[in-house]
Amino acid sequence: MSYINSYCHISNDTVKINGENSTSIDSDSIEEIIRELYLSLELKYSKFHKMDQLSKIAFIGTELIKQANPEISKSGENDIALLFSNSRSSADTDIKFQESYQNGGIPSPSLFVYTLPNILIGEIAIRNKWYGENMFTISSIFDSEYYANYCNILIKKNAEAALCGWINVDDDKIEAFFFFVTKKDLKQLNLPLDSNMLEKIYRQD
Protein backbone atom coordinates (compact mmCIF):
# COMPACT_ATOMS: atom_id res chain seq x y z
CA MET A 1 0.00 0.00 0.00
CA SER A 2 1.21 3.49 -0.91
CA TYR A 3 0.05 6.78 0.58
CA ILE A 4 -0.74 10.26 -0.68
CA ASN A 5 1.36 12.58 1.47
CA SER A 6 0.24 15.87 -0.02
CA TYR A 7 -1.80 17.22 -2.91
CA CYS A 8 -2.29 20.55 -4.61
CA HIS A 9 -4.94 22.15 -6.82
CA ILE A 10 -4.20 25.16 -9.03
CA SER A 11 -7.04 27.00 -10.79
CA ASN A 12 -7.50 30.51 -12.19
CA ASP A 13 -8.24 32.06 -8.82
CA THR A 14 -7.03 29.71 -6.09
CA VAL A 15 -4.22 27.47 -4.97
CA LYS A 16 -5.13 24.79 -2.46
CA ILE A 17 -2.71 22.60 -0.52
CA ASN A 18 -4.23 19.47 1.01
CA GLY A 19 -7.69 20.92 0.47
CA GLU A 20 -6.97 24.21 2.25
CA ASN A 21 -6.77 27.59 0.51
CA SER A 22 -3.15 28.65 0.22
CA THR A 23 -3.21 31.52 -2.28
CA SER A 24 -5.96 33.62 -3.84
CA ILE A 25 -5.40 35.26 -7.21
CA ASP A 26 -7.24 38.26 -8.64
CA SER A 27 -6.56 38.38 -12.36
CA ASP A 28 -8.24 37.42 -15.63
CA SER A 29 -4.94 36.95 -17.45
CA ILE A 30 -3.39 33.48 -17.46
CA GLU A 31 0.06 35.01 -17.95
CA GLU A 32 -0.45 37.32 -14.97
CA ILE A 33 -1.75 34.46 -12.80
CA ILE A 34 1.33 32.39 -13.61
CA ARG A 35 3.60 35.36 -12.93
CA GLU A 36 1.99 35.99 -9.53
CA LEU A 37 2.28 32.32 -8.58
CA TYR A 38 5.95 32.25 -9.55
CA LEU A 39 6.68 35.42 -7.55
CA SER A 40 4.92 33.94 -4.52
CA LEU A 41 7.47 31.10 -4.52
CA GLU A 42 10.28 33.64 -4.00
CA LEU A 43 12.56 31.75 -6.36
CA LYS A 44 15.12 32.87 -8.90
CA TYR A 45 15.20 30.36 -11.74
CA SER A 46 15.88 32.11 -15.03
CA LYS A 47 14.90 29.13 -17.18
CA PHE A 48 11.32 29.44 -15.90
CA HIS A 49 10.71 32.50 -18.06
CA LYS A 50 11.55 30.57 -21.25
CA MET A 51 9.03 27.79 -20.59
CA ASP A 52 5.59 27.48 -22.12
CA GLN A 53 2.53 27.84 -19.89
CA LEU A 54 2.09 24.08 -19.42
CA SER A 55 5.65 23.64 -18.16
CA LYS A 56 5.36 26.73 -15.95
CA ILE A 57 2.32 25.31 -14.15
CA ALA A 58 4.09 21.95 -13.80
CA PHE A 59 7.10 23.76 -12.32
CA ILE A 60 4.96 25.78 -9.88
CA GLY A 61 2.97 22.74 -8.76
CA THR A 62 6.16 20.78 -8.19
CA GLU A 63 7.64 23.57 -6.08
CA LEU A 64 4.46 23.75 -3.97
CA ILE A 65 4.58 20.00 -3.37
CA LYS A 66 8.25 20.31 -2.40
CA GLN A 67 7.41 23.03 0.12
CA ALA A 68 4.80 20.74 1.67
CA ASN A 69 7.29 17.85 1.73
CA PRO A 70 10.75 19.13 2.74
CA GLU A 71 11.97 15.54 3.01
CA ILE A 72 12.01 15.38 -0.81
CA SER A 73 15.35 17.18 -0.73
CA LYS A 74 16.90 14.06 0.80
CA SER A 75 15.81 11.82 -2.07
CA GLY A 76 18.34 10.21 -4.38
CA GLU A 77 18.31 11.16 -8.05
CA ASN A 78 16.63 7.88 -9.05
CA ASP A 79 14.19 7.66 -6.13
CA ILE A 80 11.30 9.75 -7.46
CA ALA A 81 9.15 8.69 -10.40
CA LEU A 82 7.22 11.28 -12.42
CA LEU A 83 3.75 10.48 -13.77
CA PHE A 84 1.82 13.18 -15.63
CA SER A 85 -1.18 13.37 -17.93
CA ASN A 86 -3.62 15.76 -19.56
CA SER A 87 -6.36 15.90 -22.17
CA ARG A 88 -4.99 18.64 -24.44
CA SER A 89 -1.42 17.50 -25.06
CA SER A 90 0.52 20.68 -25.96
CA ALA A 91 -2.33 22.18 -28.03
CA ASP A 92 -1.94 25.74 -26.72
CA THR A 93 1.76 25.87 -27.61
CA ASP A 94 1.15 24.06 -30.91
CA ILE A 95 -1.26 26.81 -31.98
CA LYS A 96 1.17 29.56 -30.99
CA PHE A 97 3.98 27.80 -32.87
CA GLN A 98 1.82 27.54 -35.99
CA GLU A 99 0.93 31.22 -35.73
CA SER A 100 4.65 32.09 -35.51
CA TYR A 101 5.30 31.00 -39.10
CA GLN A 102 1.99 31.77 -40.78
CA ASN A 103 1.91 34.56 -43.36
CA GLY A 104 5.60 34.13 -44.15
CA GLY A 105 6.91 34.37 -40.61
CA ILE A 106 9.87 32.43 -39.24
CA PRO A 107 9.07 29.38 -37.07
CA SER A 108 9.90 30.10 -33.44
CA PRO A 109 12.55 27.67 -32.11
CA SER A 110 11.69 28.62 -28.52
CA LEU A 111 8.08 27.50 -29.09
CA PHE A 112 9.00 24.41 -31.10
CA VAL A 113 10.85 22.97 -28.09
CA TYR A 114 7.56 22.81 -26.19
CA THR A 115 5.39 21.21 -28.88
CA LEU A 116 5.60 17.92 -27.00
CA PRO A 117 3.85 17.85 -23.60
CA ASN A 118 6.39 15.53 -21.98
CA ILE A 119 8.95 18.35 -22.12
CA LEU A 120 7.49 19.49 -18.79
CA ILE A 121 8.82 16.28 -17.22
CA GLY A 122 12.27 17.17 -18.55
CA GLU A 123 12.02 20.62 -17.00
CA ILE A 124 11.12 19.12 -13.60
CA ALA A 125 13.87 16.51 -13.86
CA ILE A 126 16.54 19.07 -14.76
CA ARG A 127 15.50 21.48 -12.02
CA ASN A 128 15.50 18.80 -9.30
CA LYS A 129 17.99 16.24 -10.67
CA TRP A 130 15.29 13.56 -10.57
CA TYR A 131 16.14 10.87 -13.08
CA GLY A 132 13.82 8.04 -12.07
CA GLU A 133 11.14 6.49 -14.26
CA ASN A 134 8.74 8.88 -15.93
CA MET A 135 5.64 8.79 -18.09
CA PHE A 136 3.36 11.31 -19.79
CA THR A 137 0.02 10.17 -21.20
CA ILE A 138 -2.98 11.76 -22.89
CA SER A 139 -6.44 10.97 -21.54
CA SER A 140 -9.84 12.53 -22.17
CA ILE A 141 -10.52 12.68 -18.41
CA PHE A 142 -8.64 12.46 -15.13
CA ASP A 143 -8.29 8.68 -14.76
CA SER A 144 -7.89 7.93 -11.06
CA GLU A 145 -7.68 4.18 -11.64
CA TYR A 146 -4.79 4.59 -14.08
CA TYR A 147 -2.88 6.82 -11.68
CA ALA A 148 -3.44 4.56 -8.68
CA ASN A 149 -2.49 1.37 -10.50
CA TYR A 150 0.55 2.75 -12.31
CA CYS A 151 1.82 4.61 -9.25
CA ASN A 152 1.58 1.53 -7.06
CA ILE A 153 3.46 -0.49 -9.68
CA LEU A 154 6.26 2.11 -9.85
CA ILE A 155 6.66 2.22 -6.09
CA LYS A 156 6.47 -1.54 -5.72
CA LYS A 157 9.06 -1.93 -8.47
CA ASN A 158 11.89 0.46 -7.59
CA ALA A 159 10.73 4.02 -6.83
CA GLU A 160 10.70 5.39 -3.30
CA ALA A 161 8.09 7.99 -4.21
CA ALA A 162 6.13 9.39 -7.14
CA LEU A 163 5.13 12.92 -8.09
CA CYS A 164 2.00 12.89 -10.23
CA GLY A 165 0.08 15.59 -12.03
CA TRP A 166 -2.93 16.31 -14.23
CA ILE A 167 -2.43 19.63 -16.03
CA ASN A 168 -4.46 21.47 -18.65
CA VAL A 169 -3.67 25.08 -19.55
CA ASP A 170 -5.00 27.30 -22.31
CA ASP A 171 -5.52 31.03 -22.80
CA ASP A 172 -8.60 31.05 -20.57
CA LYS A 173 -8.27 28.32 -17.96
CA ILE A 174 -5.85 26.53 -15.65
CA GLU A 175 -6.79 23.13 -14.30
CA ALA A 176 -3.98 21.43 -12.40
CA PHE A 177 -3.87 18.75 -9.73
CA PHE A 178 -0.67 17.38 -8.21
CA PHE A 179 -0.11 14.68 -5.62
CA PHE A 180 2.94 13.15 -3.99
CA VAL A 181 2.96 9.44 -3.13
CA THR A 182 5.32 7.50 -0.85
CA LYS A 183 5.52 4.03 0.62
CA LYS A 184 4.71 5.30 4.12
CA ASP A 185 2.09 7.69 5.49
CA LEU A 186 4.71 10.29 6.44
CA LYS A 187 2.23 13.15 6.98
CA GLN A 188 -0.37 11.05 8.77
CA LEU A 189 -3.09 12.28 6.41
CA ASN A 190 -4.56 8.78 6.26
CA LEU A 191 -4.92 8.90 2.47
CA PRO A 192 -4.16 5.45 1.07
CA LEU A 193 -3.54 5.53 -2.67
CA ASP A 194 -6.48 3.94 -4.41
CA SER A 195 -8.77 5.12 -7.19
CA ASN A 196 -11.66 6.07 -4.90
CA MET A 197 -9.52 8.19 -2.59
CA LEU A 198 -7.77 9.83 -5.52
CA GLU A 199 -11.05 10.68 -7.22
CA LYS A 200 -12.35 12.15 -3.97
CA ILE A 201 -9.46 14.54 -3.41
CA TYR A 202 -9.26 15.44 -7.10
CA ARG A 203 -12.86 16.63 -6.96
CA GLN A 204 -12.24 18.81 -3.89
CA ASP A 205 -11.26 21.70 -6.15
pLDDT at residue 142 in the model: 98
Helical packing angle, 195-202 and 144-157, nearest 10°: 120
- Please state, in angstroms and rounded to a whole number, the distance separating the CA atoms of residues 97 and 116: 12
How far apart are alpha carbons 192 and 68 in whole angstroms? 18
Q: Residue 205: pLDDT band by 50, 70, 90 thresholds? A: low
| 125-135 burial: b if 16+ Cβ within 10 Å, else e | bebbebebbbe
What's the pLDDT at 170? Answer: 84
Please name every residue paired with 135 in a beta bridge, in sequence order, or none if there are none. Answer: 83
pLDDT at residue number 28? 86
- Check pLDDT > 80 for residue 92: no
pLDDT at 48: 97
Lowest-pLDDT choice from 52-66, 94-108, 145-159? 94-108
Q: Which residue in 95, 128, 131, 133 sits closest to 112, CA to CA?
A: 95
From 62, 66, 64, select the one nearest 17 (Cα to Cα). Answer: 64
Rounded to two decimals, the pTM is: 0.93
144's enclosing H/E stretch is: helix 144-157
* pLDDT surpasses 80 at 189: yes
CA atoms of 86 and 71, how far apart (whole Å): 27
- For β-strands 80-86 and 134-138, DSSP reports them as parallel
What residues contact residue 74 under an 8 Å CB cut-off, 6+ apart? none
Q: Which CATH class is domain 3-202?
A: alpha beta
